[in-house]
Structure formats: structure tokens, C-alpha cells
Amino acid sequence: WPEIWQINPQVENPHLIYPGDVLSLAYGTDGRPVISLSQAGAARMSPRLRSSDLDGPIATIPYSAIAAFLARPSVVSAEDLKTAPHVLAFRDGHMVGGSDHEIYVRDLAGPARARYNVVHVGDPLRDPETGDVVGYMGTYAATAVITKAGNPAKAMLTDTARETLQGDRLIANDLTPPMNFAPRSPSRPVKGQIISVVDGVELIGQYQIVVINRGARDGIETGNVLAVDQAGEVVRDNFGKRSFFGIKTGSAFAPKVKLPNERSGTMLVFRVYDRMSFGLIVSAENAIRVADHIRNP
């Protein structure tokens, strides 16, 4: 820096520069590059109190924590799948669809220019208590922009992440969930389980999205806060009294004891369906896993 800095005699202390100063890069008489301060800033910045009106309520949860999930859903509820339009065919005889390909969509009632997520439906999500299917794993394939309404409608594929196949479903692109709800406990006792985690990780941490097997019919509402309990492990008591007709038995016959559940975190429900809900882990004191229990805090 000292080698290329050209002292400007018009500046009292040219070695100090400030926001707003204009620097010029040129070549000196010897052909070497030099920098000079050609114009000092007209104003000097100093800290001061600034105020602005609030345009709306402060968000309860950071939108960035769920934005990717909303933009590219990886879990589809059974209710959404029942009414979801599907890819009927591709224009120009393509077997699969990619970026800028046109597709025909069946049973779509949306207007032109509406946007939908194209999702490849995968394995079902079942309620571990009843075995009922409450949702499906999904893989985001692309965004479909409706170019011509009708049945079938015509759409253009954009923002592709993988190939689009016949039968893939179109899910409404909803990026505006309620963000300013009041966190509260459910109005009635709730007990359930985590049945899936978005991104398929084994250990769930803060700001990860989970699916639970409880929904509107169980009293769950948007904004409900739920405690997450780590499922207690089942162990054998190898040191307790054990005998069979007075004969001591080996450890294989030791009685099984279930350890109590332990509090591991807190979740906030941000989207509710009839039999399942999406929640955001807002705190995680211990490792959280699929099959862990949820309850009133």
C-alpha cells in the first residue's frame, strides 16, 4: 500500500480514508501504478438513533428456517395428494421432462401464470399407532408455470432439480404461511410421535422440520408448542433377582425394563392437516430422532 499510495497535498492527512471518499488509480511518470485521494467525502458518518414504523407484527419463527421446505416440499399430506393434479404427458413426444419442456396437466383448476411444485411421490408415511397412511415422502422435481388453462392444462417446467415423470403431482406453491401466530399450548391433551424428518437426517437438531402423527382432528392448531421427549430405551436388568424354580438363569432371561422418556426439545407447529402436522424444532437439548414422543409442554 505505501508503494502505490500517492500523497495528495490538498488533503490534511491522506493516509486516513473515510466512507464517501473517492480514490483514483493511475500510472505515475515512472509507469508505476499509484492511488490518490481525488475527492474527500462531503459528510462524515457518526452513530445516531434511527427509528422506523413497523409495517407488521414481528414473525414468531424465522422465515428462512422453513423457506426452503415451502419452496421445495419433501413431504405431501394425504389430503393434498387426493386433490393434486398430475402430469399427463409431455409435448413433442418426450419420455421425461426437463427445464423449459412443456407438459400437459390433468385435473388442474388454476389460472394461467399460476405456479405449482412438481413432486415425485415416494413411500407412504404411516401413523405408527394405527398403520393408516397420513402422508407421503416426496421429491421436488421442478416448478410448473401454467401457460394455458384447461383440462388438460399446459405448463412450462422451470427451476428443475430432477427429471419430471408422467404421474408426478402438482402441489400449490404456497410461500406465505402465517408467521406471526401466538405460540400456545394445545387446548386439550395431545400425545403423539415424530414420524418423519425433512432431509432424512438421523439426528434432528434446532430449526429442522419434522412431521408428527397428530393434526386438526386431534386438537392441533397452528402456533401450538409441543414438548419433545426422547423415547426411553428398553434394557435388561442383569443385576436384579431372577430365578426359575429356584435355579438362577442367565442374562438372556433377565427382565426387560423400559427407561422413562426424557425431555429433549421443543417444537412449534406451523402447518396443520387433518391427521398430520409440520413442526419446527425451536430448541434441542438432546438428540431428537424419528419415533420420539410429543406432548403438551
> Mind listing the pLDDT tens digit for each residue in 221-232?
998 999 999 988
Q: What is the reported pTM?
A: 0.68
Phi, psi of 59 (to 5 degrees): -65, 140
> What distance in Å separates the CA atoms of residue 296 and residue 271, rounded to the nearest whole number?
17
Cell of 33: 501504478
Please state the separation of Cα 79 from the chain's center in Å.
Answer: 20
> Mind listing the pLDDT tens digit for each residue in 65-110?
787 787 787 889 898 899 999 999 999 888 899 999 999 999 998 7
| pLDDT more than 70, % of the chain | 73
> Mind listing the pLDDT tens digit for each residue in 23-40?
777 766 666 666 666 655
> What distance in Å separates the CA atoms of residue 115 and residue 123, rounded to the nearest whole number?
25
169-172/153-158 β-pairing:
unpaired
Continuous H helices in the chain:
64-71, 78-83
Beta carbons within 10 angstroms of residue 60's beta carbon: 17
> Mind listing the pLDDT tens digit for each residue in 242-265?
555 555 555 667 788 888 889 999
Give residue 149's pLDDT: 92
> What distance in Å separates the CA atoms of residue 193 and residue 116, rounded to the nearest whole number?
30
Q: Which of 121, 283, 297, 133 has the alpha carbon at shortest distance from 213?
A: 133
> What distance in Å separates the CA atoms of residue 223 and residue 135, rounded to the nearest whole number?
21
Is the bond preceding residue 57 a cis peptide, omega within 30 degrees? Answer: no
293-295/191-197 β-pairing:
antiparallel
